[in-house]
Amino acid sequence: MRKCLLALLLTAMVAMPAAAQDKRKAIASFSILADIVRQVGGEHVEVATLVPAGGDGHVYQPSPADARAVAGADILISNGLNFETWLDRLVQASGFKGTRIVASEGIPPRRLKDDGHKHDHDHKPGQKHDHGAADIDPHVWHDLTRMRRYVANIAEGLAKADPQHAEEYRKRAAAYTAQLDALDIWAKAAFDAIPRAQRKAITQHDAFGYLADRYQIEFLAPQGMNTETEASAENVARLVRQIKRERVQALFFENIINPRLIEQIAKEAKVKVGGRLYSDSLSVPGSEAGSEADSFLKLFRVNVERLADAMRRES
């Protein structure tokens, strides 16, 4: 009897680590990407995130704990297009030896408009992000047609790292892509129902260029392409005059940036703030926003609904 119990105990001890080892440890650079990796990876991938929900991936400063986490991971997934300028230094410091996946690889990028500056971000003193001399817009997730390749890259990267479950990754990617396609059809119909002259919105900086191109929306931003310094009083005054002249009704703050500037503009232009848009991050669990955008599909739908509602508003 004692031998039988011992045999069962040993079997259980061996089986538990085997089941745990079956999952690949993956780290995604930011919360939107982490959610997509979870959708494609399913039960075979354990996903962690470097930049947490609510964080700004442009100016993130990795910690020693991040280096340890990356060192212990099997797979590292990033957006690319100079979005995570801090990532290569982190990888080098960690000694990471696993599989790297760049989700945007092969996707034709949008070029930022030339305003004489690089597209920098300086949301906090002493922190700056430069998208690079080529002025490439990294926010590809706001164009669902480009996301087909994005999801496929993730699936193929996971398949390479874990050939045993390759077909399952591809099937999950195909099912998720079908959801993205349906969401794109819905969003296009929502904006097509709004006259082109009303498809205008104000955000804090140019993070929604791909969305604008896809659905023929004009986004205006007080800080333009360069958010290294605060918007000048002259630029704000000019924008207020434009809002009044063109009767722009859609003003929004972004979930990763202080809303003070947009609130000031709305007050001076006597226009209601349309609420929060999600640019580079999912909603923070337990926050005021709660679970309204705790997945990429929900994030995209919330953004479209709020933009369309504000654009339909009578001036």
The arithmetic mean of pLDDT across residues 256-262, rounded, is: 68
The pTM is what? Answer: 0.82
At residue 230 the predicted structure's pLDDT band, cuts being 50, 70 and 90, is: low
Residues 287, 288, 294, CA angle at the centre, nearest 5°?
A: 60
> Mean pLDDT, the chain, as a whole number?
83
Averaged over 42-51, what is the pLDDT?
98
pLDDT tens figures, 215-228: 999 987 654 433 34
Contact 26, 41 (CB under 8 A): yes
Contact assessment for residue 70 and residue 94, using Cβ atoms and an 8 Å cutoff: yes
pLDDT band of 255, cuts 50, 70, 90: low
- Fold classified for 193-312: Rossmann fold (3.40.50)
pLDDT exceeds cutoff 60 at 114: no
pLDDT tens figures, 141-156: 999 999 999 999 999 9
Q: Where are the domains of the chain?
A: 2-180, 193-312
pLDDT tens for 160-210 read: 999 999 999 999 999 999 999 999 999 999 999 999 999 988 887 678 999
Q: Which has more pLDDT, 46 or 259?
A: 46
pLDDT score for 146: 98
3-state secondary structure the chain: CHHHHHHHHHHHHHHHHHHHHCCEEEEEEEHHHHHHHHHHHHHHEEEEEEECCCCCCCCCCCCHHHHHHHHCCCEEEECCCCCCCCHHHHHHHHCCCCEEEECCCCCCCEECCCCCCCCEECCCCCCCEECCCCCEECCHHHCCCCHHHHHHHHHHHHHHHCHHHHHHHHHHHHHHHHHHHHHHHHHHHHHHCCCHHHCEEECCCCCCHHHHHHHCCEEECCCCCCECCCCCHHHHHHHHHHHHHHCCCCEEEECCCCCHHHHHHHHHHCCCEEEEECCCCCCCCCCCCCCCCCCHHHHHHHHHHHHHHHHHCCC
**Residue-level pLDDT at 173:** 98
Backbone angles phi, psi at 216, to 5 degrees: 55, 55
Number of neighbouring beta carbons within 10 Å of residue 134 = 11
Provide mean pLDDT across the span 118-122.
39
What is the mean predicted confidence (pLDDT) over 49-64? 93
CATH architecture of the domain with residue range 2-180: 3-Layer(aba) Sandwich (3.40)
pLDDT computed for residue 232 by the predictor:
65
If one compares 172 and 19, the residue with the highest pLDDT of the two is: 172
Do the first three CATH levels of 2-180 and 193-312 match, i.e. the same topology? yes
pLDDT at 265: 75
The percentage of residues in the chain with a pLDDT greater than 70, rounded to a whole number, is 79
Residue 229 has pLDDT above 70, yes or no: no
